[in-house]
Homo-oligomer: A and B are copies of this chain.
């Protein structure tokens, strides 16, 4: 909770209960959630919270760079805390998004072929380890 408040303070974002809750959700759940997932969970605790507030807050966090969007599925944005750079794996079967801890020679570059880099994204799609094992045992 303290870490989270610091992140907001650093960016001069007023730490409202809603914003803190959203950021707290992202810190506790490393599941790269959708807006719907965040909202469905938070509304249990904050029955009055609005989906628009979730959108507003996440957009603000993205502008300030403390949250990063993942455009992977093609249907809706997934959100990730902007901690250290890492790659992702999307399972086409169960929909889960995994963090990958692989080396990438471009993570510390800030320019490429003359273009100025602001964000780097590396991701893979396929069938995850867990789904592969499930499929094998069922066959």
Contacts and interface: CB of A to CB of B under 8 A. Distances in A.
A116 B132 contact: yes
Contacts of A125: 117-119, 121
Contacts of A128: 114-116
Nearest to A74: B71
A124 B112 contact: yes
Nearest to A133: B114
Query: Could you say which interface size class chain A belongs to?
Result: 35 or more
Contacts of A132: 114-116
B106 A116 contact: no
Interface in A81-139: 89, 91-92, 98, 100, 102-106, 112-129, 132
A73 interface: yes
Listed residue (A91, A100, A112, A117) with the most chain B CB atoms within 10 angstroms of its CB: A112
B129 A113 contact: yes
